[in-house]
Every structure is written in structure tokens, then in C-alpha cells.
Amino acid sequence: ERIQVFEGTIIARKGSGVSETFTVRRISYGVGIERVFPVNSPNVAKVELVRTGKVRRSKLYYLRDRVGKAAKVKERI
């Protein structure tokens, strides 16, 4: 089966152990899309960390209300 790439910002991690999940948000054609992936799923081939951001919250749900550049997370140096 073909691998489908989904790139975006991780806005949340929930659960622990086998039931742990993470939520990824991206903007596609002007519409916000969020997908929830299980960490231990065999369907997830790999998770690649592209950039790390400077945030002071564990859940970044406030990014849903932001538009444009305000929705970006500052990069950690």
C-alpha cells in the first residue's frame, strides 16, 4: 500500500502506553485539517521531526483561532 505523507504541527499528545495519540494540524487550500494518529499504530510508518518550536503550553489548541502568520510557532534556537 502507498504511504500517504501528512505534514503539519503537532498540537497535542494524549493518553499513555498503548492508547497514546498525537494530533497533527495543517492548512490545506485554506481549510484547517486535523488528524489524530495513534503512536503505536502499525499504519504509521514513521514520524519525522522537522523543526522544534518554542511554546509554553502542552496543548496548542489556541492555534485553531489564529490565521496566517499568527498561527506559526516560533522556532527554538
User: How far is 56 from 44, CA to CA, in rounded Å?
Assistant: 28
**How do residues 7-63 score in pLDDT, each as one tens digit?**
999 999 999 999 999 999 999 998 999 999 999 999 999 999 999 999 999 999 999
The range of the structural domain enclosing residue 25 comes to: 9-66
Tell me the CA distances in angstroms from 3 to 6, 43, 45, 46, one per residue in order: 10, 9, 8, 10
Residue 19 counted as domain residue = yes
Q: For the whole prediction, is pTM greater than 0.75? A: yes
Residue 75 counted as domain residue = no
Q: How many domains does the chain have?
A: 1
